[in-house]
């Protein structure tokens, strides 16, 4: 089977290409802006997704990972327009061209931000929930999902949508890498009394689900939520990272309500919300429909994540 991976140079794309080349007999085409030299990989250098059109007749399945990702400090004059151009319009154009070229299946990596930002206790997000995106990135992903479903209905292209929460693993950056740095330096953190619940997904677990969806007969025209199936509080996450690092957990038990008040006074309410609020997903329908479970435990994934960081840091 011929598989095309867009965003092949990215965090998920690099891991997916590597796993496909190691464990399957598929031919893997990698759409990439920068060369990525993996033995057996067939690179397709591109500037825009439209550059892929001539190659699509030989492709059986597209895994569309390329996206304009969430921006902490967006400098675009119109952020929503910028997100829509890449995440909505270009995605729909690629899917339409794929359908016309005879591609069988289109797997789209969306985001749990389509569902919303936070969940209430005991009320995890489910795939059928009405979309409730709160920022331009989430809106663009939700609109892309709508476009893809319409294209699938009109053309017969098999659409598979996967919405992950925060993804971590070797090579992770942004806030998760900052958490690792804080714990590794032994800094006391005022995060010892946070009783929220957060769903995360380890990179190898997400990659395993993507590979499952390549050929599974029950995957087409479905939306799947994914996680490690082991939700953590922020406090538990930091303790787990400390164990993986072999460091003491220096957490000061300050109530989350106090933290949110202090963060608001400091002009950083969004940071406190990310640390203190819950975001859970229900993956039982994913497990039931696909007969799938996350193959890697949270503890294993955390150890692999911090080991890679230490290797990079020397």
The DSSP output letter for 55 is: G
Query: Residue holding tokens 């001539």?
Result: 54
Catalytic site residue from 108, 118, 137, 168 = 137
Q: Is 108 among the residues known to form the active site?
A: no
- Cα(58)–Cα(61) distance, integer angstroms: 10
Burial 94-120 (b: 16+ CB within 10 A, else e): bbbbbbebebbbbbbbbbbbbbbbbbe
Helix (H) or strand (E) holding 275: helix 269-276
- Cα(104)–Cα(51) distance, integer angstroms: 19
- Cα(31)–Cα(66) distance, integer angstroms: 9
* CA-to-CA dists, residue 52 to 24, 32, 33, 99, 147, angstroms: 23, 10, 12, 13, 19
- Cα(113)–Cα(132) distance, integer angstroms: 8
List residues with catalytic annotation.
137
């Amino acid at each position: 089977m011929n598989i095309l991976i867009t965003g092949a140079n990215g965090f998920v794309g690099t891991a997916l290409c590597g796993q496909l080349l190691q464990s399957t007999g598929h031919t893997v085409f990698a759409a990439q802006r920068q060369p990525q030299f993996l033995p057996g990989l067939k690179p397709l250098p591109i500037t825009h997704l439209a550059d892929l059109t001539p190659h699509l007749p030989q492709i059986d399945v597209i895994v569309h990972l390329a996206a304009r990702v969430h921006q902490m400090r967006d400098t675009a004059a119109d952020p929503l327009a910028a997100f829509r151009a890449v995440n909505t319009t270009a995605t729909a154009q690629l899917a339409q061209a794929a359908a016309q070229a005879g591609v069988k299946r289109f797997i789209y990596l969306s985001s749990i931000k389509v569902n919303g930002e936070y969940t209430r206790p005991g009320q995890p997000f489910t795939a059928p929930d009405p979309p409730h995106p709160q920022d331009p990135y989430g809106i663009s992903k939700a609109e892309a999902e709508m476009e893809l479903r319409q294209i699938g209905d009109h053309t017969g292209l098999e659409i598979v949508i996967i919405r992950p929460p925060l993804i971590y693993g070797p090579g992770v950056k942004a806030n998760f890498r900052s958490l690792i740095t804080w714990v590794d330096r032994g800094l006391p953190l005022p995060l010892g009394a946070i009783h929220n619940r957060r769903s995360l997904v380890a990179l190898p677990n997400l990659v395993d689900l993507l590979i499952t969806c390549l050929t599974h007969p029950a995957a087409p025209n479905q939306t799947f939520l994914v996680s490690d199936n082991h939700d953590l509080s922020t406090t538990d996450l930091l303790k787990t990272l400390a164990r993986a690092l072999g460091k003491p957990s220096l957490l000061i038990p300050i109530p989350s309500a106090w933290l949110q008040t202090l963060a608001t006074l400091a002009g950083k309410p969004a940071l406190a919300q990310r640390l203190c609020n819950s975001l859970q997903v229900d993956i039982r329908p994913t497990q039931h429909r696909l007969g799938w479970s996350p193959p890697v435990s949270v503890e294993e994934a955390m150890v692999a994540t911090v080991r890679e960081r230490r290797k990079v840091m020397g």
